[in-house]
Chain A
Amino acid sequence: MKPMRYFALMLTLLAVSAVAPAAEIQVAVAANFTAPMKEIAAAFEKETGHHIKAAYGATGKFYAQIQNGAPFEILLAADDIAPAKLIAEGNAVAGSQFTYAIGKLVLWSAQPNLVDDQGKVLETGNFKKIALANPKAAPYGAAAVALLTDLGLLKTLQPKFVTGENISQTHQFISTGNAELGFVALSQVMTDGKLTTGSAWVIPTNRYAPIRQDAVLLNSGKEDPAALALLNYLKSDAAQALIRKFGYDL
């Protein structure tokens, strides 16, 4: 490399690092968004040099932790309730809430031919256990209950319910075959617009209230330009294309 060009490169690097010193951002992420978040984080880290430390789990648990001083700077929730509550209680920055993805519910089985594309399997009841996320705490669980109520099947299927602590555990119950089928997030069983394994019924979105997943800037991230950069990145075309690829609406 010629000295002049080397010098220019150094100068550019210096300029970049002066504008945005590499920082670490702690993000609490809804379990259903694990797979897309990993790709988004990788792309974001490559672009900005910031490092993302993501914790994946149930939104209700994160809410309790944030209320009690957890050091997260951003919450990517599985609903729009927790972010709103955090703002109302003064734990998050007013005006920073926005919908980063709209979740889609899917009835999924690890077995190839169990679930038909109309969900008739729910009526035939040809299974012992059906898994869903805890409807009290997880929006995907609540959506599943709403759908079953709508189908008039809630009472008959309730004895077969097994509930996961969050949507990841629900997926785990089904993928290990301990529950033959269950309701999970489409993002968990889909990559590049295709079902990865098993059989599924992607439930029409007019059958349940939209699962708006909102992001919010928490108080500890208020002054952090890196956290703001990540929120902006989530709104970018590149990130949104990636989010759609995992089966979310926007």
Chain B
Amino acid sequence: MLLSADDLQAIWLTLRLAGIVTAILLVIGTPVAWWLAQTRSRWKGPISAVVALPLVLPPSVLGFYLLLALGPSGWIGQLTQSLGIGLLPFTFWGLVVASVFYSFPFMVQPVQNAFEALGERPLEVAATLRASPLDTFFTVALPLALPGFLTAGILTFAHTVGEFGVVLMIGGNIPEITRVVSVQIYDHVEAMEYADAHRLAAVMLIFSFLVLLALYVWQHRGQRRT
């Protein structure tokens, strides 16, 4: 076997993290995207800006604030402690929370674009057929926006797999719990184990390329059909 047991563990952990984060963001991100696509509120601008923040913020800023907020004197830390969950840094669920923040725009923006591309017509037609707003959302908007969801899901998953800075800052590099692939590679490099670093880095490179290739080939086909 090319990869060591530790490497495989890191890969499995990373896939699990990315899967859970994508699932959570599908649930949280969809209503936000829907609201942003539909609203005429003056809050649309500020909320959109907040959603996009992780795209431009360096991971060190996000990691630093998360470390403070999730810590014993931070507001999230005090909340989790009073709920009996304990502190989140250095735990798998801490990484999940951090990644949900970090990957938020990757879910919201493609879904919002898909909702906006629907236009008002299908929704109006549904309304004249006496569909309730909730009914319209699930039977009209969701199926039509499905390609947007697929793009968002893939990007969120891949982006979480590629996360490094935030995980490094709040993860504490614990095997099986917070040592994801990117951190494991960094570890190999730091320990001067360059051959191990190469193997795992190559896996990452090929994986990322294949994911993006699949996404673009599929999008291209979709465009030709329409």
Report A's interface with B, CB cutoff 8 A.
58, 60-61, 63-64, 85, 128-129, 131, 134, 136-137, 161-165, 169, 172-173, 176-179
Contacts and interface: CB of A to CB of B under 8 A. Distances in A.
B173 A176 contact: no
B90 interface: yes
B56 interface: no
B161 interface: no
Interface of B: 67-68, 70-73, 86-87, 89-90, 168-170, 172-174, 186-187, 189-192, 194
B191 A60 contact: yes
A64 B70 CA distance: 33
B173 A63 contact: no
A31 B104 CA distance: 33
Given A129-B172, A162-B172, A176-B67, A136 B189 contact: no
A77 B159 CA distance: 35
B192 A64 contact: yes
Nearest to B74: A176
Contact of B173 (A61, A165, A179): A165
A163 B172 contact: yes
Contacts, number: 67
B192 A172 contact: no
B71 A176 contact: yes
Query: Which 4 A-B pairs give the minimum distances between C-beta atoms?
Result: A162-B172, A60-B190, A137-B190, A136-B191
B172 A60 contact: no
A222 B190 CA distance: 26
Interface of A is mostly: mixed
A161 B174 contact: yes
B172 A173 contact: yes
Identify the interface centre among B68, B86, B89, B90: most chain A CB within 10 Å of its CB. Answer: B90
A178 B173 contact: no
A134 B87 contact: no
B73 A177 contact: yes
A63 B190 CA distance: 8
A63 B174 CA distance: 24
A137 B186 CA distance: 11
B172 A58 contact: no
A178 B91 CA distance: 11
A64 B189 contact: yes
Contact of A137 (B73, B170, B174, B191): B191
A134 B172 CA distance: 9
Given A162-B172, A163-B173, A178-B90, A136 B187 contact: yes
Contacts of A173: 89-90, 172
Given A134-B173, A163-B173, A178 B189 contact: no
B68 A179 contact: no
A172 B168 contact: no
